[in-house]
Structure 1
Amino acid sequence: MTAVRVHRYTVAADRLDDLLDRRAQAITGIRAGFPGLTGTRLIGLEDGSYVDTWTWESAEQMNAALQASSGNPGVAAILALTGDHVVASGEIIADI
């Protein structure tokens, strides 16, 4: 079943370009090392926060990548740019 990891966070306007660069590098690295990442989408909300969704072929593939990224300096650098970070994982049960 398709799994999704959803992050919601804020980023200072003057750091957004840094976040976008680091995020793109992280996505490239994860795709090179872990199969199953089928898509990512960053959405800027009208309140100034962002929702970042990462879609995986399966929860197992997502969890393997998450375990490997724990303590990764690149991931830490991305998180350092964000505030009010909330994360949740789930599985798509309907996609119309």
Structure 2
Amino acid sequence: MTLIRTTRFTADPADADTVLERRSNLLAAVRAAFTGPTETRLIRLDERTWVDMWRWDSPETLQAALAGAPSLPEAAAAFAVARDVSAEQGELVDEDGWTR
């Protein structure tokens, strides 16, 4: 079962480059320590608001990452610039990819 974990947060617009750099570092650290995520997407909704979507191939891989990732220094660094953080996850029930 594929799961999508979505994290919504705000950050100071002056920290946009820092958000991108620290997210990249966090993603590399998570992938080195755990099996996944298999795909990610970062969406900037406006100057301050971001949505980060990470795809996981199973509940077990997601749970392992959720249990272990908070101890990663890269997680602390990434979330140091994030405010108003909320997260949710759900089962992917349908998707469509269009190739031209």
The alignment yields a C-alpha RMSD, in angstroms, of 1.4
TM-score by length of 2: 0.86
Task: Note the C-alpha offset of 1:47.
Answer: 6.7
Q: Note if contact 2:6-2:87 (Cα within 8 Å) is conserved in structure 1.
A: yes
Q: Structure 1 50/22 Cα, relative in aligned 2: closer, same or farther at 3 Å?
A: same
The aligned amino acid for 2:5 is R
| 2:50 is aligned with 1:50 | yes
The aligned amino acid for 1:74 is E
Q: Note if contact 1:36-1:58 (Cα within 8 Å) is conserved in structure 2.
A: no
How many correspondences in the alignment? 96
Task: Note the C-alpha offset of 1:31.
Answer: 1.2
Question: Matched residues in 2 for 1:10 and 1:36: separation?
Answer: 24
Aligned counterpart, 1:19: 19
Alignment of 1:21-36 (within 5 A): 21-36=21-36
- Secondary structure at 2:94's aligned position in 1? coil
Unaligned stretches of 5+ in structure 1?
none
Larger strand proportion of the pair: 1
Which portions of structure 1, spanning 4 or more consecutive aligned residues, are displaced by more than 3 angstroms? none
TM-score by length of 1: 0.90
